[in-house]
Amino acid sequence: MTRIRTTVDGVRYEDEVEPRLLLVHYLRDRLGRTGTPVGCDTSNCGACTVHLNGSAVRSCTVLAVQADGAEVTTIQGLASNGEWHPVQKAFHERHALQCGYCTPGMIMAAVDLLKDNPTPSEDEVREGLEGNLCRCTGYQNIVDAVLQASGQKEGVSP
Amino acid sequence: MSEIDPGAVALEAADQISQPAAEREVGRRRLRKEDARLVTGQTNWTDNIQFPGMVHMAVLRSPMAHARITRIDVSAALERPGVLAAYSGRDLADEQGALPCAWPVTPDMKHPNHPPLAVDEVRYVGDGVAVVVARDRYAAADALDAIEVDYEPLPAVVDMERALKDEVLVHSELGTNRCFTWPFAGGDYDAAKAKADVVVTRRFLQQRLIPTAMEPRSVVVAPIAAAGEYTVYSATQIPHILRLMLAMVTGTPEHKIRVIAPDVGGGFGSKLNVYAEEVLALVVAKRLGQPVKWTETRSEGYQATIHGRDQIQDIEVAAKSDGTLLGLKVDLMADMGAYLQLVTPGVPLLGAFMFNAIYKMEGYSFTCHGVFTTKTPTDAYRGAGRPEATFAVERIMDELAAELGMDPMELRRKNWIQHDEFPYTTIAGLTYDSGNYEAATAKAMELFDYDGLRREQEKRRADNDPVQLGIGISTFTEMCGLAPSRVLGSLSYGAGGWEAAAIRMLPTGKVEVVTGTAPHGQGHVTAWSQIAADALGVPFEDVEVIHSDTRAAPQGMDTYGSRSLVVGGVAVHLACQKVLDKAKRVAAHLLEASEGDVEFAGGSFTVKGSPDAKLSIQEVALATFASHNFPEGMEPTLNSDYVMDPENFSFPHGTHLCATEVDTETGFVKIRKYVAVDDVGKVINPIIVEGQVHGGLAQGIAQALYEEALYDADGNLTTGTLVDYYVPTAADLPRFTTDRTETPATSNPLGVKGVGEAGTIASTPAVVNAVVDALRPRGVVDVPMPCSPEHVWRALQQGGAK
Amino acid sequence: MIPPEFDYVRVSSIDEATSALAGGGEDAKVLAGGQSLIPLLRLRLAYPSTLVDVGGIADMKGVREDGDAIVIGASTTHAEVLGDPVVQKHAPLVALATATVADRQVRHRGTFGGSLSHADPAGDLPAVAAALDASFVIASSGGGRRTVGAGEFFSDYLQTAIGPGELLVEVRIPKLGDGWGFHYEKFHRVAQAWAIVGVAAAVRRSNGDIAEARIGLTNMGPTPVRARAVESALAGVAVEASAVGEAAAKADDGTSPPSDLGGQADYRRHLVRVLTRRAVMAAAGT
């Protein structure tokens, strides 16, 4: 067992974990942060995307022990004082989700994309989200939501 | 205890009575009520559920496509720390029952016994052979490795034509791999063919697909062992059907089972089933008296969750030289896989009525052979039989057009049902209630700039441009709103097609809509709120929709087949009408008027000729609750139920146009433009409709270009993970141009037709037709799906050789 | 889905790492970003006894100039490589190829050295390393260092010259001078898919024609391949599609492309000729 110290959504935790424990399972099963889902076992789907020290990563492809000393933000920690992040708001306004399973990872990836590229083109959005699969929406409303959150697209009012 | 003063209660409640709604909800672009929890991660996926004492189940699966189990020893697993139990199929043989197939399509259909865990023989890679139960998922995974199984290999058979030779039997006790033969005819095809100037024959392959809903399947069974009660949480599209089936399969009394579908992350048909793991979790929970959870891993699910499509289609069309269609002959082989899951054999038959599509003809012949192979069972996947049918007919129309030297759109126009011919009874015996193919097509052609793109195509051909342009058409209809119960009965399907709704008016005028549908992304909570808000004249926010829990919403036939709005939403509307009938009677009584003089509008009852007489529906609800001043003999309730059995299928239609750029050097296909004009009748929420179309297009395009579930000759699923099974990302799909025409359905009072599967049904042939159209001058007449660069390149090599 | 059990040690220096690797025996494995290793563990395709986490070793991170080469620390993430001004100035082909690796999430964790050490010929970076004549600095216990060229480093499919107890610490990439253009052509089915074939091209022009070229091929054999026949044929060739195409027709010389789910060998041979022509034309600035 290895002792790890993490800060997850603003709360400090200290735990003994097996080295093989995946960060996503640490979050979901140990800490009860079930807002971050698991969608695959080959690091393709991106549903488990969280921010690790400010950068989007697949939490299923990080060992909890690798997150020792790190700050983790999940979808549940994105809103601030009850105020939704502009990307969350835009997803709702542009109907960028249907079943919602890919949504946490998609939102966390989009927030990270906009941090590095605040005014992306449509192609840059599509490419920037290539690490996140969605089976429901066909992506178009997701792209529009990200463009809207970046302040670039008002488009058809919802 | 002090006496409760009903007057005081009434005054307090009156403060909560909200203002009546001002504008119509139906047709409004309402943002969804479902979203708040989903965008903030406050979700309740089945895998999130934790109970005290909950244990984790894992399934050991056969790595062989066909083998006898000669030895299975779970003892080493039992010795591992944290392991509570381990069972082989033989250990559970008396309790596990057999998984149901609810659709015996013919009286002599071969129906193999399908135990949740294989006992003596495994028949596909992924067939379960044992389960372990451990304190957490890590211990369960480790325990699986400790189980010892000896297999005696048997030959695999993965090719349908070879399987039909019956040299290698999947189920030796059946004596054949032919599950059924289902013939169907309309008119006289042979007579039609005899008159033909031209006959075009093609073989098309519908590749096997893996539905890949984003949420892996999961089930938790929470027993109250002492009471013999079981709550089953399952990521299912069919909580009601599942409850009934679990009772029948396991012998558990139906009233002792409660099924809840919590948040469900997509289904597309893959969660329209009764799975081994659901039965096993119940059996194990019964044995252990503890809550049991099972969640598939993605690659496990690729073997253990049903696959879609997988047909070999031999299609023949007979026509006159002026393009008049005379007849269509369809011969199908449909791959069942190793076993029959819930509706496996019926899926290709749903397409039987759709090969004739939107076209008039004199003769139609259909024969389908269901075939067993040593592969994962197939079952319904978005469109379930209708995408396969639409693909075949829209492809052969293009082939016929090429043969005749006719423009492919003109060929279609010449043969489709004209707008003024509706209602029209097709050669397949279905009566299409309404449609307007002309209007949808005109809109699509304009949005697409059809003429401009044809000019560009000509130029690229003249220049011998290495990148060629192709234009693909798909004019489709589909049959959905499943389904009139008597029709299902005539097809030998095991259940009916009705849907239930119950409306409860609370004392403060808030409304509970109890629906039998089971949404998993389709937005029913929002849409049914809109329907009820309009019907009852209450604010959208005042409506609560209750679903997916057999205790709270006990009656329903669940969600699939684009049925929920057409059957379930209409049931909501009709139940609201019953509420209004009751409320009107109460209002008349309170207003001291005759019912005939009472009118209802904008959420209020008024009396003709008495401008001061007015009661809101909320006031009527409160008065009903108090029942002090109430019509004689009337039960003191406004609550009403409606169970809607549709009189017909519904027939949305549309025209899709696709332009593809094909790089003839590499074979790479890029969609340059995609236009979809769909007619789904009246629309409750345009945002939801657009979203369903987008999602449907993505899956249909993915079949055309990217996805294929491949098996090697030994029956191994070689595309066993998302690494090799190409589900497209945002970077792989184009922006879609979507629009609508609106030709109301005449078979239901809302005029709605359903949209869930339409995009998928239409898009696959639009894309493939475009690819073939780009390459036809180079001798290509078909590119097998998916139109991968290599498939395109090889088609060009073969075409060039002509 | 669930990795098998293993021991774990996090080290903070190269010496500690080599010591731990030597002590851990054959089944000790390096954990850097984990984007290649963790997927293998989750599918139980690898059963290491110990993971030695080198992610925090400061000496293995970062990019620096060192005379006529640039040096990329093995634990530098793809994202860091992409954004580094030294890489962009002196080895833009590395940046071009790194930009195509997987997706943003993987690039935030995966490392330059980790990806190269994984030595998947279908990966994008090995072909670039081969094209640019990269050399690999390998540490062993007790402070030893040896340097190995790309040809020797990629020894076989998923195998490198790194021996037991050794650790790749940095990669040296010679600076190319003026007049060079670069392009990485990656041909794949969908955005996340591995390259069916990829071509890394560096082309130097002189008086308008191609003076010299360096071409590395992705997924045309068990290791990355230098398309030397094409390189020779391109010397002095005009930057014009049919002339370049003629040289590019030799792209599959000496290759042994696989036949697998990504494509059959004959298709790959055809593709690599087309893609090499396109990559060279693009690198030559057209």
% of residues, chain C, pLDDT over 70: 100
Tell me, what's the pLDDT at B23?
A: 66
Check pLDDT > 90 for residue B446: yes
In this model, does residue B126 exceed pLDDT 80?
yes
A 63-122 near B (Cβ less than 8 A): 74-76, 78-79, 84, 88, 91-93, 95, 97-104, 107, 122
Spatial distance between the Cα atoms of B504 and A78, rounded to a whole number of angstroms: 37
Structure token digits, residue C67: 């005379």
Cα-Cα-Cα-Cα torsion A57, A62, A66, A67, nearest 10 degrees, comes to 50
Residue A154's pLDDT is: 61
Residue A149 in tokens: 């959150």
Q: What is the 3-state secondary structure (H, E, C) of B620-668?
A: HHHHHHHCCCCCCCCCCCCCEEEEECCCCCECCEEEEEEEEEEECCCCC
- Verify whether the Cβ–Cβ distance C267 to B790 is below 8 Å: yes
Closest CA to B340 of B215, B205, B172, B180: B180
Cα torsion B159, C258, A40, A62 to 10°: value is: 160
What ipTM does this complex have?
Answer: 0.97
Give CA–CA dist A110/B346, Å, rounded: 42
At residue B66, does pLDDT exceed 50?
A: yes
Is residue B394 within 8 Å of B353, Cβ to Cβ? no
Q: What is the pLDDT of residues B166-220, one digit of tens each?
A: 999 999 999 999 999 999 999 999 999 999 999 999 999 999 999 999 999 999 9
Structure tokens at B82: 């944290």
Nearest C-alpha in C relative to A17: C8
Confidence of residue B801 (pLDDT cuts 50, 70, 90): low
pLDDT at B21 over 80: no
- For C74, the token pair is 């093995």
Residue B225 pLDDT level (bands cut at 50, 70, 90): confident
Question: Sign of dihedral through CA atoms C77, C78, C84, C87?
Answer: positive
CB spacing of B138 vs A34 below 8 angstroms:
no
pLDDT computed for residue A153 by the predictor: 76
Residue B18, pLDDT score:
37
**C45 shares contact with chain B (CB less than 8 Å):** no
Percent of chain B surpassing pLDDT 90: 96
Q: What is the mean pLDDT of residues C253-264?
A: 97
- Measured between CB atoms, which of A43, A61, A66 is closest to C55? A66
* Res. B802: pLDDT tops 60: no
Question: Is B264's CB within 8 Å of A35's CB?
Answer: no
* B509-546 pLDDT per residue, tens: 999 999 999 999 999 999 999 999 999 999 999 999 99
- The residue of chain C with its CA nearest to that of B136 is C2
Q: Which pLDDT belongs to residue B85?
A: 98
Q: Judging by beta carbons within 10 Å of its beta carbon (0-12, 13-18, 19+), is residue B467 exposed, middle or buried?
A: middle
pLDDT of residue C177: 87
Tokens standing for residue A60:
């299923």
Chain B contacts of A107, Cβ < 8 Å? 39
Q: Using alpha carbons only, how large is chain B's radius of gyration in Å?
A: 28
At B485, the amino acid letter reads S
pLDDT above 70 coverage of chain B, percent: 97
Chains that touch A (3 or more CB pairs under 8 A): B, C
C-beta atoms of B788 and C189 within 8 A: yes
- Examine residue B423 and say whether the peptide bond preceding it is cis (omega within 30 degrees of 0): yes
Instruction: Compute the count of residue pairs across chains A and B with CB atoms less than 8 Å apart.
Output: 190
The whole-angstrom separation of Cα B384 and Cα B343 is 10
| CA B133 distance to own-chain centroid | 32
pLDDT at B125: 98
Question: What are the pLDDT digits (tens) for B459-499?
Answer: 999 999 999 999 999 999 999 999 999 999 999 999 999 99
Q: With a cut of 50, say whether residue B597 has pLDDT above it.
A: yes
Question: Biggest alpha carbon distance in chain A?
Answer: 54
What's C252-281 look like in SS3? CCCCCCCCECCECHHHHHHHHHHHHHHHHH
- pLDDT (0 to 100) of residue B7: 42
| Residues in contact with C134: Cβ distance below 8 Å, sequence separation at least 6, in sequence order | C128, C149, C150, C153, C171, C172, C173, C174
Looking from the CA of B254 toward its CB, the CA atoms found within 13 Å total: 10
Q: Return d(Cα B699, Cα B720) in angstroms, integer.
A: 18
Torsional sign, CA B784, B790, B794, B800: positive
Find, among B230, B229, B259, B227, the residue nearest to B243 by Cα: B259
What mean pLDDT do residues B746-761 have? 96
Q: Is the pTM of this model over 0.90?
A: yes
Query: Chain A partners of B730 at a C-beta cutoff of 8 Å?
Result: 125-127, 129-130, 132, 134, 139, 142-143
Residue B745 has pLDDT above 60, yes or no: yes
Residue B279 has pLDDT above 80, yes or no: yes
CA separation, residue B180 to residues A148, B331, B346, B495, B586 (Å): 53, 13, 10, 20, 57
> The tokens of B325 are what?
């269609």
Mutate which: A58, A117, A127, A143, vs C, most C CBs within 10 A:
A58
A130 → closest Cβ in C5, C109, C191? C191
Tell me the pairing of strands B257-260 and B229-234. parallel
Provide mean pLDDT across the span B46-69: 98
Q: What is the DSSP letter of A80?
A: B
Confidence at residue C34, expressed as pLDDT on a 0 to 100 scale: 97
- Residue B540: closest CA among B10, B4, B21, B19: B21
C2 with B138: Cβ contact below 8 A: yes
Take residue C39 and report the two structure tokens written for it. 């997927």
Which amino acid is residue B263, in one-letter code?
Answer: D
For residue C33, is pLDDT > 80? yes
B538-569 pLDDT, tens digit each: 999 999 999 999 999 999 999 999 999 999 99
Q: What is the pLDDT of residue B274?
A: 98
| Tens digit of each residue's pLDDT (9 = 90 or more) over C161-215 | 999 999 999 999 999 989 999 999 999 999 999 999 999 999 999 999 999 999 9
Alpha-carbon distance of B554 to B570, in angstroms, equals 18
Strand C63-66 versus strand C50-53 pairing type = unpaired
- The residues that bridge with B363 in the sheet, in sequence order, are B187, B327
State residue B526's pLDDT score. Answer: 98
Q: What is the CA radius of gyration of chain A?
A: 16
Phi, psi of C72 (to 5 degrees): -110, 120
Quote the percentage of chain C above a pLDDT of 90.
97
Looking at residue A91, its pLDDT comes to: 98
The whole-angstrom separation of Cα A27 and Cα A74 is: 9
Mean pLDDT of C144-148: 97
Q: What is the mean pLDDT of each run of 10 residues along chain A (158 residues)?
A: 97 98 98 98 98 98 98 97 96 98 98 98 98 98 98 62
- Chain C's closest residue to A68, CA to CA, is C10
* A33 near C CB under 8 A: no
Query: d(Cα C139, Cα B437) in Å, to the nearest integer?
Result: 72
Q: Residue B13: which pLDDT band, with cuts at 50, 70 and 90?
A: very low
Cβ proximity of B169 and B176 under 8 Å: yes
